[in-house]
Each structure stands twice: as structure tokens, then as C-alpha cells.
Amino acid sequence: MTESNKSNITRAADAEQMRQQDYIARVRTIIEAMPARPKAYVETYGCQQNSADSERLKGMLCDMGYEMSGDIKSADLVLYNTCAVRENAELRVFGNIGALKHKKAKKPDMLIGVCGCMMQQEHIAKTIKSKYKHVDMVFGTHALRRFPEILFCALGKTRVFDTADEAGTITEGIPIRRDPPPLAKVSVTYGCNNFCTYCIVPYVRGRERSRSAEDILNECRETAEKGYKEVMLLGQNVNSYGNDLGAGLSFSELLEQVCRIDGIERIRFMTSHPKDISDRLIEVMAREKKVCNQLHLPIQSGSDRVLEMMNRRYTRASYLEIIRKVRAAIPDIVLTTDVIVGFPGETNEDFEQTLSLLKEVEFDMIFSFIYSKRVGTPAAEMPDCLTDEEKHANFDRMLKVQNEISKRLNERYLGTVQRVLVEGVSKTSINTLTGRTEGGKVVNFSCPEGRGSLVGELLDIEITDAQTWSLFGRLKA
């Protein structure tokens, strides 16, 4: 990027920021004139990036005078931050928006907003406009920074639709209200250039843009000062960080810089694309103590034929070579992956190759999905080989194989002492705390009532039980 281009972008961003602040102040004036402070409820449907966007939405809402509420029943404003990656996520959103119709009939002043990835698809925004008339605000991922302006119009009883495709922007300085410590999410890139043939993300998030290293490092420093001990660096493909910035830090160099920040004790990142993972990244992961011994490396399929149809741009052999290098450099690495079953054109032979790859690698955990057709993606036009019944049968078989591997790998931790960063009190019992090992494994451990103050601490936990999805343990005396 040339200097003059760069300064144009900065000026545009500054103007956007001033406009945002102006609308935040205007909404605040309206809110302050209300008899009681209104409550806002924000629900996140998607990935970590979606959740990071929700933290910005909440930040703007708080600055505008709203009180955040975890209870939808008492909310004066409901905001659904949606995900478009698979059909079931979309169906859930439609169901929940439908259910709000009666609520709004009883409470006409309630505002309803739907935003995020789903809204960046034209056919969805149109459906909401015509069939869900009780929705007041519809805005896509590119309009996030304009939320105060959108809300200002909605408070003035104007229905707002802001779903334009402006794929090229980054706006810094949007207010943020993070989830409480110890984990902080920090975006390094937005969007994606890879166009895997099944995936909607590049269409709803736009082309890949890297944030400046300075902005990322400043955000990491701020979180450390606020008591966050763990940072999760986010991007659809973190390994291509900086490719659009010309000369600058690569992802592995950025990672080293984050390690130098006092107060941050653990660093994770996701997602890594196998085609872009560098030897230098593996070397930094092995060398830097703060970088967790965990790698999420989506394979999607074990068949070269399917990987090619998916446009993944690596092969089974090159993927296995990365795994070999990672394990050689970091012997205790915890490996996780994503797998799609039933991609169009996938045969039973292709599926067998995925199964054999899972057995060969032995991932600690997999995130598996049955292929979901996404409007506008190339795979949506490809013919199927297998029936839905066959796809489901393969899926179930795969889970059985993987669950056995996950449980067996977890049992290796029995009797060991693990350093666990405590994330919170368990949802099922106030006497149980939950946290993660350096490898990212969930550990539940009991502790007497009133020990919630241990949240955010790094503790030594002796592992006493191992299940498929989590470990159990006790606090070392």
C-alpha cells in the first residue's frame, strides 16, 4: 500500500469515528430523558469473531446509556448477532425472531435488531424486511460501526436496513465491553480471501484486511492492564496476517511481540489454514513459553479429491507433514481440527479416507459438521453422490471413532498435575470451578463454596477423572 493510500484510509477512519461519537452522544441524550435506564440484551450466534463483534455492540450500547442484561424477558432492546455458516444456525435465528413477535405486541416500544453475517446476504435481509415486520433494525457486518446511527433512527421510529457491501474497511476505536477476565479476544485480521467452495464467510465478511501491528499490540497491552491473562488472536486465517500490509510483521513476528507484553501469560490463536502455516510459526510456538501448546488446524477432509473440490489448496500428504513437524517441535501439542462430512461429490471411499486420517493423526478433539448448502457458493451447484441417510450414518460412525480417541488421549492426563487458568464457576454447581489447561482442555474441579475469587488465577490441579470432552480434578494442596 502506498503512503498516500494509507493516509486516505486513516482520514476516512477518523471521520467515521467522529460520526460514531456524534451519534453515541445523540442517543445518550434520548436515553437520559427516559424515566428509567433501558435494558439491552445481545445474543451471539456465531464464531469468536462474531462474539468479538458482540463485545463492540455492547460497548456502544453502554456508552449510549443502556444497561446490559442477560435476561431477554426484561429487555427494552434485543439484538441478535447472527451467523450464516450453516443452515441450522440460520434456522435458530429465524425461530427466535419469530418468537419475539408476540413479545413486541405486548411491549410495542421494545426495539428489535438483527445484525451480523446472515444479514450480509441479500435474500435473508429481504425475507426479514417483508416477513418479519416487527424487526426494527437490520444491519450487516460492514455496518457494525454505524450501529449508533442505526439505533438513533430506530428510536425515532424509522425502520433501518443497512446491509451494503463495503468489504474494504477497518474501523478502530469502536467502544468495547469485553466479557470479564481472564480471556480477551483480539482480532488481527477481518474477512477471508480463500473462497473454500462450501464457505459463505468471504461473502459476508469481505476480503481479508489486517489491522496494524501497533493497533493490535496496543489492544493487547490494554487488556493486560485490565487484568486479562490470556489473549486469543483472531482471524479466519491468522497465518496470512500482514500479506496486505506490504513490509511489516508476519504473524509469527506479531506473536513474538505479544509475548513481550507483561501481564499476558497465555496466548492462543485461531484459525490457522494449513496452506499458510510457516516453519517459523512452529518454531516460535515451540520457543515462546507464553504461546500455548495448542493448534487448531482444520483439515475438512482426508481425501485429496475432496480437498481439491473444496479449493483448500493442500493435500493429505502436505497436511500430515505439518502435523509431523509440529509434533517433532512440540511433543505435548494438543491438536484439534474441523471436518465436513457429506460435501457434494464426496463418496463413501472419500469418507473412508477422512476416517483413516483421523485414526492416523489422533486429534484431541474434532469439530465436525454435515455439509450445509450455502446460497451463492460454488459447492451449492455441485451434485451430491450420497443420500442424507448415508451422510448421517457416516457422520455417526466418525463421531464414534473420534470419541474413543478423545477419551483415550484424555486418560493420559490421569494422575498428572496441570496448570489451569480458572475461567469461571461451573453452570451446574457453584462448588465447581472450570478452567483450561495450557493445551486448551477443559478442567472442572470442585472447591468449597465462596471460592469464586479464584477466577482468573493459574492453579495446579491434579487430574482425577477423564471424560471424552473434559477432565476433572482437585486443587493441589
Annotated binding-site residue numbers for [4Fe-4S] cluster: 47, 83, 117, 192, 196, 199
Task: Give the angle 271-276-277 at the CA atoms, nearest 5°.
Answer: 75
178 DSSP 8-state letter = P
The nearer residue to ligand F3S, 270 or 330, going by C-beta atoms, is 270
Do residues 286 and 309 touch, judged by C-beta distance below 8 A? no
Q: Number of helices and strands (H, E) in the chain?
A: 13, 19
Neighbours of 153 (CB within 10 A): 15
- Choosing from 60, 64, 85, 270, the residue that interacts with ligand F3S (CB under 6 A) is 85
- Choosing from 205, 268, 296, 436, the residue that interacts with ligand F3S (CB under 6 A) is 205
Q: Which three cell numbers stand for residue 313?
A: 489448496
Q: Is 50 in the site for ligand F3S (CB under 6 A)?
A: yes
Which of the ranges 44-52, 182-190, 390-398, 416-424 carries the binding residues for ligand F3S, by CB under 6 A? 44-52
Separation of alpha carbons 380 and 387, rounded Å: 15
Q: How far apart are the first and last CA of the chain?
A: 56
Distance of CA 34 to the CA centre of its chain: 35
Do residues 78 and 110 touch, judged by C-beta distance below 8 A? yes
Separation of alpha carbons 175 and 153, rounded Å: 20
Strand 432-436 to 417-425 pairing: antiparallel
What minimum distance in Å lies between the beta carbon of 104 and ligand F3S? 25
The nearer residue to ligand F3S, 189 or 252, going by C-beta atoms, is 189
Separation of alpha carbons 96 and 394, rounded Å: 31
The residues that touch ligand SAH, with contacts defined as CB under 6 A, are 85-86, 198-199, 201, 236-237, 271, 273, 298, 300, 338, 340, 369, 371-372, 374
The nearer residue to ligand F3S, 205 or 316, going by C-beta atoms, is 205
The nearer residue to ligand F3S, 139 or 152, going by C-beta atoms, is 139
Q: Which does 372 bind (CB under 5 to 8 A by kind): ligand F3S, ligand SAH, ligand SF4, none?
A: ligand SAH
Residue tagged 493516509 (cell numbers): 7
Q: Is 47 in the site for ligand F3S (CB under 6 A)?
A: yes
The residues that touch ligand SF4, with contacts defined as CB under 6 A, are 192, 194-196, 199, 201-202, 236-237, 273
Q: Which does 371 bind (CB under 5 to 8 A by kind): ligand SF4, ligand SAH, ligand F3S, none?
A: ligand SAH
The 115-154 site mask, x for binding ligand F3S (CB under 6 A), equals --x-------------------------------------
Do residues 57 and 146 touch, judged by C-beta distance below 8 A? no
Q: Which residues bind ligand F3S (CB under 6 A)?
A: 46-47, 49-50, 83-85, 117, 200-201, 204-205
